[in-house]
Amino acid sequence: MRKKLWIILALAFIIPGLLFTASCAKKAVKDDAALAQQAEDEKAMAEKARQEELARQQAIEEERLKEAQEARDMFLNDDIYFEFDSSILTSEAQLLLKKKAEWLQNNPEAMSTIEGHCDDRGTNEYNLALGDRRATSAKTFLVDLGISASRLTTISYGEERPVDPGQNEEAWAKNRRCRFTTN
């Protein structure tokens, strides 16, 4: 009985010890893998973050480019309009010209030609002069906003280049305009 008890005792010590060692060993192995995994995860995370940052920056850049393109498109595509037989800048025209001035300030290397156009109801000769007055009005406004006159050229096309050949107020209104180009 005593021998049996001793064995039990021994077992009682050894088995947990074994168990301990076993568990100990097992635990050590598990920790190494976790560490590696963690490192990998971290690397992946960092990579992901880097990628994300890159994407973010790219998005920002794209947004910036898009905005620049939009600003450029605004500058080139948004014509300013005039009343019949008038070269006076309307408040809408002045607002647009302020935006165009901003763009010119942000793009100091850009040179621009301002085209003056008319609807075709008047006579060609007078309209050439009126187109000249319109382009000059727009140029003077931009110069007053601080744009160097040397960056701005004017040209009148009179009624020779309508955007809309229609014979109605809608078409005429579209044709009485200043168009901006960059060279």
Partner 1 sequence: MKSCRTLIACLIASVFILTIPGVSLAGYDYIDITQPYLRKLPIAVPFFKKISAGDDAAQLSRTLSDLLSDTLDFTGYFKIMNREAFLADPQTDAGFANVTFHDWTSIGAELLVTGGVLVKDNLLEVELRLYDTFKEKLLIGKRYKGGISDQRRIIRRFCSDVIYSLTGDRGIFNTKIAFVSTSSGTKEIYICEFDGYNIRRVTHAKTITLTPAWSSDGQWIAYTSYARGKPDLYIKHLKEKRGTVVSKKGLNITPAWLPNKFDLSATLSFSGDPEIYLLTGTGKVIKRLTNNKGIDVSPAWSPDGKNMAFVSKRSGTPQIHVKNLDSGQVNRLTFQGRYNTQPSWSPKGDKIAYSSMEKGRNNIFVIGIDGQGPIQLTHNEGDNESPSWSPDGNLIVFSSTREGPSRIYVMTGYGTDQRRLLTLKGQQTQPKWSPRMTRK
Q: Which is nearer to partner 1, 104 or 154 (CB)?
A: 154
Take residue 94 and report the two structure tokens written for it: 């002045």
Query: Residue 110 Cβ, how far from partner 1 at the closest point, in Å?
Result: 19
Q: Which is nearer to partner 1, 61 or 160 (CB)?
A: 160
Query: Residue 128 Cβ, how far from partner 1 at the closest point, in Å?
Result: 5
Question: In the complex, which residues of this chain contact partner 1 (CB under 8 A)?
Answer: 85, 121-126, 128-130, 132-133, 136, 154-157, 160
Q: What is the Cα gyration radius of the chain? A: 39
Q: Which is nearer to partner 1, 112 or 156 (CB)?
A: 156
- Give CA–CA dist 172/167, Å, rounded: 7
Query: Residue 119 Cβ, how far from partner 1 at the closest point, in Å?
Result: 9
Measured in degrees and rounded to the nearest 5, phi and psi for residue 33 equal: -60, -40
Query: Residue 102 Cβ, how far from partner 1 at the closest point, in Å?
Result: 25
CB-side exposure of 33: number of CA atoms within 13 Å? 6
**Distance set, CA 77 to CA 74, 100, 116, 157 (Å):** 5, 11, 14, 17
99 sits in which H/E element: helix 91-106
- What region does 113 belong to: left with phi over 0, alpha with psi -120 to 50, or beta? beta
Q: Which is nearer to partner 1, 32 or 125 (CB)?
A: 125
Q: Which is nearer to partner 1, 103 or 115 (CB)?
A: 115
Query: Residue 129 Cβ, how far from partner 1 at the closest point, in Å?
Result: 4
